[in-house]
Structure formats: structure tokens, C-alpha cells
Amino acid sequence: MKKLLTYLIISASVFILVSCDKPAPTQLIDDTSDEFEVELLNKDLDNPYSSGTDTSGITQDLTGVTNLISVSGIKITTENRSNEFSLAQAMFFDKSKPIRYSNGKLLAYQTITPGTIKFNGTEAHVVPYRIRYREGGSPKDTLIGGKYLLYNITNGLPDPFYFPYNASVSFEYVPFIGGNNVSFNIVTPYEINGTVSLNGNKISKNLEATLNWNGIGEKKVSVIVGLVIADSIGGRQLHTIPIYKIKTADDGELKIPGRFFNQLPLDRFEKIVFTFVRSYEGYRGSGNNELLVSSQSIHSIILDIP
């Protein structure tokens, strides 16, 4: 009897063991703001795309944009010195006139300047709009038309446009021929101020970065990581190749793991730049009149690659 019961319980155990499920897992729903969205901005480091706004450190892929209104408060920190700029831009793209790389890939569209534009009552200049890029390893640029621009490098020079944080900028458009005037206020974000701490070095391939900024807990911020190379065009001008665009919660802290740096050919680059962007973006209108309105607080920090 005892033997029979023993064999039964052992047999039952084996059967149960091989026929069992495992306990149900618990799915944790992410209700935190701790996100980390990564976008690769340039796959070909020898032929990177740039819209030419080097000094702003900002780069956008504008091929999907019809019309862009952008106002930015910009701070660039390098070697512990910071310079602040205000920038207001407007571009109107003619989608019927694409401009392509030599390999046929779309580079941009030609721009048009159909009227006058004022930001906070100051009329923007029309300036040549050149796009700098690298093709076949060589720096190139091309003129794709004109764009509207106000920029204030220092003390209202050359243009008396001052980007107000956590306020608004008025926008006015008056067409030269036909059409309606357009005016609206562009709401501006709080100023963003960041710091970057680099650990490790490129030789050991253990570089990683810890970023901190004055998080306000609203929406998200973008951090653009770029590599800086000397550009022969225009003299010794630093040319930034944006690599990653990371969107994360505006909680004031981001750690970029080493794997994002250590695969890159850092020895080919002189510096690394981290650009904090707190932006408000929205669309107005539709079709050919669709406007992407963007106001941004930008803080770029340029560091030597250890």
C-alpha cells in the first residue's frame, strides 16, 4: 500500500511538473513620465544633413515642413562661457521645387518670400537661405532661396528682437500680392538651462553622459546630441553633425548610457554638443498654408570629448 501510494505521488508530481503553467505575470503600465525616445538624425556621418543653422546648434529636417515660423531663445555654452541669442525665422517652402543631393535624395525645397513678416513689431530681413551639408566627405552648401530672419547676438544687434521666456511673441504677415494678413501670438516656454557631466573617455570606449536641467514637469524636452567637426567652409567654423534626438520627460534629469557614444567614431570629432530644447510647437492652417509654429528655448553645451 505504501509503495503504491509512493509511486502514485511521484508519478503525479512528474505529470504535474511537465503540465504546469507558470504563475501569471503582472503587466506594469507606465504611468510615469520617465520616457526615452530616440531618433537617429544622421545615418551617414560622412554626408550628414544640416539646414545650416550652425550657431543655433539647432537642426531640423525641414523636408516635411510646408511653412515654418520659429522663434528661439538660444544660449551657447562653451568653455564655461555662455552667449545668448534671440532668433526669429520664417521659411516658406515651394513644394513644387525640390532640391536634391547628387544621388537624387531630397535635400530641401526652394523657399519663397511672399510678403513682409514682423516679430514683436520688428520687420524681419530677407536673407539668403543656404543649407550646409556634406557629400562624399566634403562640406558643401547650396542656396535654396530666401528666408526671413531677425537675430540678436548682443544688446539688440543687429536686430532689436528679444526672445521673451514664458511670454509671447507677436507675429504679423502681410502679403505682397493678394491674400490675407495673418497675425497671432506665439507663446514662449520657460528658459531651459542645462548642465552636462561626462564620465569615461573615448579611448576606453566607456563614455557616458549625465544631463541635468531646470525641469518644469510639463510636456517633454528634447536633447540633441551632436558631434562637432571643423568645417573648411567659412574658415575655421565648427560644424555640428546632429546624431541623436532624444525626447524625454521634462523632469530635469537624463542619463545617456555609454552605448550611445561608444559605437561612434569619436576620434574623428573634436567636440560633442548637447542641445537642450524646450519647445512649444503647433500647426496652424492647412495645405499650402499650413504653418508649423515653433517657439523654443535652446541651451547648447559644447564640450571637448574626453
Partner 1 sequence: MIALNLKILPQSSFGLAGYWGLQEPVTIPFYNYESNSSNYFGIKDWGIALQYGAEFSGSVNSSLYLLAMAKKLGNHSLSARFTPGYQKEFLFATGESIIINDTTTQSLEANYNYKELFGLGYSYRFDEQFNAGLAVRFFSQDFNQQVVKPVFGDTLYLVRETIDEKVNFWNVDLGFDYILNKNFQFRVSSINLINIKDDLTIEEFQGFEMDQKRGALLMASYMPADFFNFHLLYETSNSFQLSTTGSTSGFIYGLTAFHDYFQDPYIAGLIPAVGYRTNLFEILLSGVKYFSERNTNASFSKFYEEGINNIINNRYSFDKIVLSLALNISSTPEKKVELIDVEIVRDIYPTFYDKYIEQPFAFGKVVNISGETVNVIPSVKIEGITDEKIQSPPQTLEPGDTATVPFYLIIPDKYVIDKATLSYADFYVTTSSTEPDAQLQKAALINSLNSWDGNVANLRYFIMRDIDFSMNYAKSVLSNNKSVLDTLPSAISVFYKSKILFNNFVKSLVYASDPRATAEYVQFPKQTIELKGGDCDDLSVAYSSLLESVGIQTALVDYKEDGEIRHVNVLFNTKLIPTQAKFITTNDSKYFIRKNEQGNDEIWIPIETTSLTDFDEAWNVGVEKFNREAVNDLGLAAGKVEIIDVY
Helix, strand or coil, per DSSP, at residue 288: helix
- One residue of 21, 96, 155, 286 binding partner 1 per CB under 8 A: 21
- One residue of 11, 45, 159, 204 binding partner 1 per CB under 8 A: 45
In the complex, the smallest distance separating the C-beta of residue 5 from partner 1, rounded to whole angstroms, is: 6
Integer CA distances (angstroms), 65 to 46, 84, 93, 117, 291, in order: 25, 27, 8, 18, 8
81 part of the interface to partner 1, by CB under 8 A: no
Binding mask 51-80 for partner 1 (x = CB under 8 A): ----------x-------------------
Number of Cβ within a 10 Å radius of residue 47: 19
- One residue of 156, 185, 204, 253 binding partner 1 per CB under 8 A: 253
217 part of the interface to partner 1, by CB under 8 A: no
Helix, strand or coil, per DSSP, at residue 11: helix
Note whether 97 and 6 are within 8 A (CB): no
Note whether 129 and 111 are within 8 A (CB): yes
- One residue of 11, 39, 138, 283 binding partner 1 per CB under 8 A: 39
In the complex, the smallest distance separating the C-beta of residue 61 from partner 1, rounded to whole angstroms, is: 8
Q: How far apart are alpha carbons 170 and 188 in whole angstroms?
A: 10
Q: Which is nearer to partner 1, 10 or 233 (CB)?
A: 10
Spatial CA neighbour of 67 closest among 122, 115, 125: 115
Query: How would you classify residue 203: left for phi > 0, otherwise alpha for psi between -120 and 50, otherwise beta?
Result: alpha
State residue 9 phi and psi, 5-degree precision.
-70, -35
In the complex, the smallest distance separating the C-beta of residue 42 from partner 1, rounded to whole angstroms, is: 7
DSSP sequence for 40-62: E--S-TTS----S-TTTT----G
304 part of the interface to partner 1, by CB under 8 A: no
Three cell numbers at 131? 543649407
138-154 and 168-175 beta bridge pairing: unpaired
- Number of residues this chain uses to bind partner 1 (CB under 8 A): 45
177 part of the interface to partner 1, by CB under 8 A: no
Q: Which is nearer to partner 1, 186 or 266 (CB)?
A: 266
275 part of the interface to partner 1, by CB under 8 A: no
In the complex, the smallest distance separating the C-beta of residue 86 from partner 1, rounded to whole angstroms, is: 30
Three cell numbers at 285? 492652417
Strand order in the sheet with 253-256: 194-199, 208-213, 253-256
Binding mask 219-248 for partner 1 (x = CB under 8 A): ------------------------xx----
- One residue of 117, 264, 292, 301 binding partner 1 per CB under 8 A: 264
115-119 and 122-123 beta bridge pairing: antiparallel
183 part of the interface to partner 1, by CB under 8 A: no
20 part of the interface to partner 1, by CB under 8 A: yes
- One residue of 265, 267, 286, 287 binding partner 1 per CB under 8 A: 265
Binding site for partner 1 (CB under 8 A): 1-2, 5-6, 9-10, 12-13, 16-17, 20-32, 34-40, 42-45, 61, 243-244, 253, 255, 257, 259-260, 263-265
